[in-house]
Amino acid sequence: MSTGYLFCSDPLAAGRPDPFFAAEVACARRSGGETALLDHDALLAGDTEAALARVPRDSGPYWYRGWMVPVSRYEELDQGLRARGCGLLTPAPDFGRAHELPGWYDVFADLTPRSVWRPLPPGTPPSGPALAALTAPLHPGPAVVKDFVKSRKHEWDEACFVPSLAHTDKLSAVVRRFFELQDDSLAGGLVVREYEPFVPGGEARVWWVDGEPVLTTAHPDSPAELPAPCLTAVRPAVRALGCRWVTTDLALREDGVWRVVEVGDGQVSGLPAGSDPSPLFDALTLAGSGR
Ligand SMILES: Nc1ncnc2c1ncn2[C@@H]1O[C@H](COP(=O)(O)OP(=O)(O)O)[C@@H](O)[C@H]1O
Ligand SMILES: [Mg+2]
């Protein structure tokens, strides 16, 4: 059985891969994988049939590789592929568990900043009292705000960092601005996390396939900095999560402890510019073939 990769197509030319992923397509093929194309815009618009029009019937099974998709759209992708006699190597529940913080948090609780969350639709920031109740289990110091998937780290002071949870007015203002900027793209709801001091030097993104760390890259935000994290505590947590292809972003805290800033589904995690993902695709192709 050969391993398939479902890459996003070029929005301007549906018959070829999105140029952003061209080097990865070549790498996937070199590893012995087959590739097919998905129309990401059509998937996000809810037209699964059109999204999968270029996927041959009874092909796969596939790793998806491309831009992020909401968990509900990934479920539709999973169903749509099955209706064509194809399958995904990461089933929808596993995607949700790795992609959204509430899915992975319990397994990584000892390794990641303490967090609270509340499912909410876009455009509905909680009131001050509701935020005070939500964050009561956290230490009343600095905190970070995000949704179940993404932060507004590029608007750090305005919509991400809260200097002290003791000041509900400031917390409310940051949360309101966060909801405003996320708008309809808000994923799942609100997360508030205790802030931990990390040393400068960038995060390491570790890529795991079937519980093994097959590649460590820099984080895409700091491609020139590649720390070498200790994985002793992370490995059992990744195995306990039980998802086949995940990433863990690790940062060194000022007290010398490696912390998990974020877990992600590997299918939608970014590679930093200039990295060689060959070991990753070699591992994925082998894992997907069932050998
Ligand atoms: N709890 C935290 N303590 C300290 N810094 C944090 C914390 N959470 C996030 N950050 C910083 O903010 C950045 C973005 O947060 P992250 O959770 O990775 O969101 P995103 O999905 O937007 O990358 C991280 O790379 C890290 O530098
Ligand atoms: Mg991140």
Reported as half-sphere exposure (CB side, CA atoms, 13 A), residue 228 has a value of 0
Whether residue 6 has its Cβ less than 6 Å from ligand 1: no
> What string of pLDDT tens digits covers the 291 residues of the chain?
689 999 999 999 989 999 999 999 999 999 999 999 999 999 999 999 999 999 999 999 999 999 999 999 999 999 999 999 999 999 999 999 999 999 999 999 999 999 999 999 999 999 999 999 999 999 999 999 999 999 999 999 999 999 999 999 999 999 999 999 999 999 999 999 999 999 988 799 999 999 999 999 988 888 888 888 999 999 999 999 999 999 999 999 999 999 999 999 999 999 998 889 999 999 999 999 875
* Ligand 1 and 195: CB distance under 6 A: yes
Element (H, E) at 251: strand 245-252
Q: Ligand 1: which atom is nearest the Cα of residue 150? A: 21
CB proximity list for 128: less than 8 A, separation 6 or greater: 168, 169, 171, 172
Q: What is the pLDDT of residue 19?
A: 96
Identify whether the C-beta of residue 203 lies closer than 8 Å to the C-beta of residue 251: yes
Question: For the CA atoms of the chain, what is the radius of gyration?
Answer: 19
The CATH code belonging to domain 4-89 is 3.40.1010
Write down the pLDDT at residue 216. Answer: 96
Q: In a mutational test of the pocket of ligand 1, which residue from 68, 111, 151 has the highest number of ligand atoms less than 8 Å from its CB?
A: 151
Given the structure tokens 């998802």, which residue do they identify? Answer: 243
What are the tokens at 116?
A: 């609270």
How many A from CA of 153 to the centre of ligand 1?
Answer: 7
150, 261, 263, best to mutate for ligand 1 pocket (most atoms within 8 Å of CB) = 261
* Ligand 1 contact via 269 beta carbon (within 6 Å): no
Q: Give the ligand at the shortest distance from the Cα of 222.
A: 1
Q: Which whole-number Å values give the CA distances from 169 to 71, 130, 172, 176, in the listed order?
A: 32, 12, 5, 10
Q: What angle do CA 186, 195, 152 make, to 5 degrees?
A: 30
Calculate the dihedral angle through the C-alpha atoms of 102, 103, 108, 112, rounding to the nearest 10 degrees: -40
d(CA 182, ligand 1 centre) in Å: 16
Q: Which two tokens stand for residue 248?
A: 């863990």
Query: Does the beta carbon of 205 sit less than 6 angstroms from any atom of ligand 1?
Result: no
146: closest CA among 124, 114, 117? 117
pLDDT at res. 2: 85
Write the DSSP assignment of 269-282 as a string of letters: PPPPTT---HHHHH
Domain 97-106+199-274+284-288, CATH: 3.30.470.20
pLDDT at 92: 97
């999204």: which residue's tokens? 51
